[in-house]
Structure 1
Amino acid sequence: MAWNEPGNNNGNNGRDNDPWGNKNNRGGRDQGPPDLDEVFNKLSQKLGGKFGKKGGNGPSIGGGGAIGLGLIVVVAIAVWVFSGFYTIGEAERGVVLRLGKYDRIVDPGLNWRPRFIDEYEAVNVQAIRSLRASGTMLTKDENVVTVEMGVQYRVADPYKYLFRVTSADDSLRQATDSALRAVIGDSLMDSTLTSGRQLIRQTTQETLNSIIDKYDMGLIVVDVNFQSARPPEEVKDSFDDAIAAREDEERFIREAEAYKNEILPKATGRAERLKKEAQGYTERTVNEALGQVAQFEKLLPEYQDAPEVTRNRLYLDTMEEVYTNTSKVLIDSESSGNLLYLPIDKLSGQDGDSSKRKTKSSSAYDSIELESQRTDTQTETQTRSTNSRQGRY
C-alpha cells in the first residue's frame, strides 16, 4: 500500500508515512513534493553532528557541513595524487602520452603522472625477441627449396617501436620474409643447400638491416640464424644422395691432403739424406784420388833413384795385402812326394767370409799346384808385376 493512499494509518491519509517528514499541511495542500530546504537542512545537521559540534542546532548549511565537504575533496585529491605513481622496470623504458600525444620517455624507477591526463606504456628494451620466417622459395636456377630462418632482435627506440609503424613485430616478420626471398632468388640451389649458407645468412641480415633503417622501426637485429634448407619432398632422396657424394668427395680430399702432408716430409728428408751422402761420397772419392796422386808424386822420385828396390817393395806390399785377407795352405813340395789329404770342406768354411774378394782359388788342386811351383815362378811374377806397374805409371 502506498504511503499516501487514502485511509492508510487510521484515517490520517498516510501523512504519518511521508518519507519527507511532511506531517503538517503546508499551504493548505494535503499532498505535494518535499521541501528541498528542509532536506538540505537535515543533511547538514547530520554532517554537522559527525564533523562539527555535538548537540544543539547548528546552522543550516555552514560550519560542520563545509568542513565535511572539504575533507571529502581533500581525500579525493589525495587518492588522485597517489593513483598517479607508477613503476618502470629495470629493463624497460616508459613512453608517456599527454592527452594522447607523445610527451617524453621516462627511465626505470618510480615515476608520477597526472591521472586522466598522462598515460604511459612500458617497453622492454633489453629482452631479446625472436621470430621465424619460412616458406617455399624459388632459386636463381629455377629450383624450389624450403627455407627456414630465425631472427633475434630487440627494441632500440621505444617511441619508434610504438608509433612509427602499426606493428613493429609484424612488420619485421614481413621484412624478414621479403629479404629472405630476395636473397634466395639470387642464389643457386646447390649453394643454398650446401656451401653458400653462411653467405646467404650474412646477406639476409644486411638486407634486413637496410629495410629496418628505411622504415625507422626502432628495432635492431642481433643475429640471423639459417636454420634449414631442404629440397621438395619429391626429389629429397636424390638430393640426399648428391649431398652424401659431395661429403665423400670432401672426405677423400681431406684424407689425400693428410697423406700428402705425411709423405712429403719423409720424401724430402730422404732426398736431403741422399744428397748429403752423394756429396760425402764425392768429397771422399776426390780426396782419395788426391791422396793417391800425392802418394804417387812422393813415390816417383824414389823409384827414379832406385827402380829395383822400389819394384820389390811394391811387390811385397801387394802380396801382403792379397794374402792378408785369404786362407792359405803352405806345402813344402821338395820334402816329400806323398799325396797329402786336405780338408777342403773346412777350408771352404773358413773362406765363407771372403766371398766378396776378387782373388779366390777355384779348387784345392790349383792351390797345391800354385804353391809347388812358387819357387820356379817367383822371378817371372816379380818381373810381370814390375812391368805392369811401370806401364801404369
Structure 2
Amino acid sequence: MAWNEPGGNSNNQDPWGGRKGGDRKGPPDLDEAFRKLQESLNGLFGSGKRRGAGDGSGSGGGFGLLAIGLGLLAAVWLYSAVYVVDEQEQAVVLRFGKYYETVGPGLNFYFPPIDRKYQENVTRERAYSKQGQMLTEDENIIEVPLTVQYKISNLQDFVLNVDQPEVSLQQATDSSVRHVVGSTAMDQVLTEGRELMASEVKERLQRFMDTYKTGITVTQVNLQSAAAPREVQEAFDDVIRAREDEQREKNLAETYANGVVPEARGQAQRLIEDASGYRDEVVSRATGEADRFSKLVAEYRKAPDVTRERLYLDTMQELMSNSSKVLVTGEKGQNNLLYLPLDKMIDSRGTAAPSVPASAASGDLGSRVSAELQQRDLRSRETR
C-alpha cells in the first residue's frame, strides 16, 4: 500500500521510511542509500544473506564492488587491446618502448600499457604545397610554388628514427628547392627549365630522406609556374617581352640562314665539281699529249724527214684553218708574194659542193696549199 493511499497510515509514515514527528527528518543520508544499493548487488551476485539495517558494509559488499570494478577494467582493457588493421595500413608495436614487431592487415592484439601501437596508412599518397621567395643564380628574386607527393615506405623508420618526419620532409624541401633555384638562372626557372629543376629537387630531397632514414619515399615533385614578386611584376613583364622578341629575331635569323646557307653550299659544291672536271680534263689532255709526243718521238727516230714534213703540214693546216687570208713570201732576195684568199676559196667550194663537210674542205685546202708551196719551191730552184 502506498504511503498516501486512503486508509493507510499516512500520518505516521513518510516516503523516506521514517515516521512523522520522529527523530529522522528529511531524506536519508548518502551512506544509507549506498548501503541499500550494495545489499541489492550482493543479493544479485549471491554474496550472502541480507544484512540488517543497522549492519555496516561488510566484506562481502566490498568484494562485490571490487569484482565489478575489475570486470569493468577488464572490459575496457580488452576493448583497447584488440584492434583491426586495414589492407592499406600497417601497425608498429613497441614493447617497453622498444621495437617489437610490424603488424599487417587483419585482427590483432597487443598488451597496453606495456605495448604501444602506431598505425598508419602506407599506400595512400600524401601531398603538401609550399610557396616562397627565392634568389636565383643571377640574383633575381622569384616566387616558386611547388607540390610534393610522398608516401610511407618503411613504417618502422617513420615511427622510430625521426621525431615528426613530415616536418623534416618540409624543411628538407625548402633546402632542396633553394639550392636548385640558387644554382639556376632566372630565364630557366621562368621558362623551359622547370621540369629539369623538379627532377633535381626530387633527387636531392629523396637523398635527404634516405640519409635521415625517415621511411618516406618522394613520388613526385611539381614545380608550378614561377613568377616575380608583385612589387616588380611590371619590370619582369618587360623582361619577358624582351626575351620573346629576342627569340623571335633568332627564329627569323635561323630561317634566313636555313634558306641562304644551303644555296651557298650548293654553289660551292658546283664550283668544286667544275674545278674538278676542269682539272681532270687538263690532266687527261696533258696525259694524251704526252703519250702522243712519246709515240711521235718513236716515229721520228724511224723516219725523221717524213715525220718533220708531216708535223709541218699538220701545223700549217691548223693555223690556216683559223685564218681567212694567207700571205706567202718567197726566199730571200725575191719579191714574190703569194696571196691566197682562203675565205673566197672556201665559199666557192662550199657553193659548188655544199654537202662537203667543213673538216673535209679544210683538209683539201691544206693539201692544195701544200701543193702550191711545193710548186713555187720548184720554180724558184729552176730559176736559180
TM-score when scaled to structure 1? Answer: 0.55
Residue pair 2:151, 2:217 contacting (<8 A) in 1 also: yes
* Residue 176 (structure 1) aligned to one of 173, 177, 187: 173
User: SS of the residue aligned with 1:221?
Assistant: strand
Are residue 380 (structure 1) and residue 366 (structure 2) matched?
A: no
CA shift, 1:225, in A, is 3.3
Contact 1:8 1:14 in 2 (8 A): no
Letter in 2 for 1:241: R
* Counterparts in 2 of 1:310 and 1:303: CA distance versus 1, 3 Å: farther
2:190 counterpart residue number:
193
1:297 correspondence with 2:297:
yes
Residue identity over aligned pairs, in percent, reads 22
**Superposition pairs for residues 214-229 of structure 1, below 5 Å?**
216-229=213-226
Q: Give the aligned residue type for 2:105.
A: G
Paired residues of 1:161 and 1:217 also in contact (CA < 8 A): yes
Judge conservation of contact 1:131–1:152 (CA < 8 Å) in 2.
yes
Alignment deviations for residues 172-224 of structure 1 (CA, whole Å, 9 cap, x no partner):
23432344335434554345335765665455446545654565543233343
Decide whether aligned partners of structure 1 residues 18 and 130 sit closer, same or farther in structure 2, where only a CA change above 3 A counts. closer
Following superposition, the deviation at residue 121 of structure 1 comes to 3.4
* Other structure's SS at 1:132 match: strand
Counterparts in 2 of 1:143 and 1:128: CA distance versus 1, 3 Å:
same
Q: CA RMSD in A?
A: 5.9
Contact 1:93/1:108 (<8 A) preserved: yes
**Cα distance in 1 for residues equivalent to 2:248 and 2:273:** 37
- Match of 1:229, SS state, is coil
1:9 Cα deviation (Å)? Answer: 2.4
In the TM superposition, what whole-angstrom CA distance separates every residue of 1:119-157 from its partner, at most 9, and x where no partner exists? 533223333333222123334544321222332322233
Contact 1:84-1:113 within 8 A present in 2 as well = yes
Q: How many residues are paired up? A: 320
Unaligned 5+ segments in structure 2 are 18-27, 51-66, 323-341, 378-384
Q: What does residue 147 of structure 1 align with?
A: 144
The one-letter code of the counterpart of 1:229 is A
In structure 2, the partner of 1:280 is 280
Q: Retained in 2: the 8 A contact 1:93–1:158? A: yes
User: 3-state DSSP class of the match of 1:96?
Assistant: strand
Contact 1:130 1:153 (8 Å CA) reproduced: yes
Q: How does 1:260-279 map to 2 (within 5 A)?
A: 262=262, 266=266, 270=270, 273-274=273-274, 276-279=276-279
CA offset digits 1:47-78 (Å, max 9, x no partner): 89xxxxxxxxxx969xxxxxxxx9xx999979
Give the drift of 1:244. 0.6
Gap change, CA 1:125 and 1:382, over 3 Å in 2: farther
Alignment of structure 1 residues 311-390 onto 2, 5 Å:
329-330=348-349, 379-381=371-373
Residue type of the partner of 1:157?
N
**1:229–1:18: structure 2 CA closer, same or farther, 3 Å change rule?**
closer
Structure-2 change in CA distance of 1:89 and 1:315 (3 Å): same
Pairwise CA distance, 1:238: 0.7
Report SS of the residue matched to 2:106: strand
Q: CA deviation at 1:383?
A: 7.0
Confirm whether residue 240 of structure 1 aligns to residue 236 of structure 2.
no
- Corresponding residue for residue 161 of structure 1: 158
CA distance in 2, matches of 1:183, 1:42: 74
SS at match of 1:240: helix
Provide the C-alpha distance between the structure 2 equivalents of 1:311 and 1:191, rounded to a whole number of angstroms: 82
Aligned CA distance change for structure 1 residues 383 and 125 (closer, same or farther; 3 Å):
farther
Instruction: Give, in angstroms, the shift of residue 273 of structure 1.
Output: 3.4
Secondary structure in 1 matching 2:286 = helix
Give the deviation of 1:285 after TM superposition: 0.8
**How has the CA–CA distance of structure 1 residues 97 and 269 changed in structure 2, closer, same or farther, with 3 Å as cutoff?**
same
Q: Where do 1:1-20 residues align within 5 Å? A: 9=8
Output the CA distance in 2 between the equivalents of 1:261 and 1:102: 75
- Report the CA distance shift for 1:128/1:234 in structure 2 as closer, same or farther (over 3 A): same
Unaligned runs of 5+ in 1: 20-31, 49-58, 62-69, 332-341, 361-370, 386-393
1:312/1:382 contact within 8 Å kept: no
SS of the equivalent of 1:148 reads strand
> Residue in 2 aligned with 1:112?
108
| Alpha-carbon separation, structure 2, partners of 1:87 and 1:279 | 94
The code of the aligned residue for 2:170 comes to: R
1:41-120 map, 5 Å = 84-97=81-94, 101=97, 103-114=99-110, 116-117=112-113, 118=115, 120=117
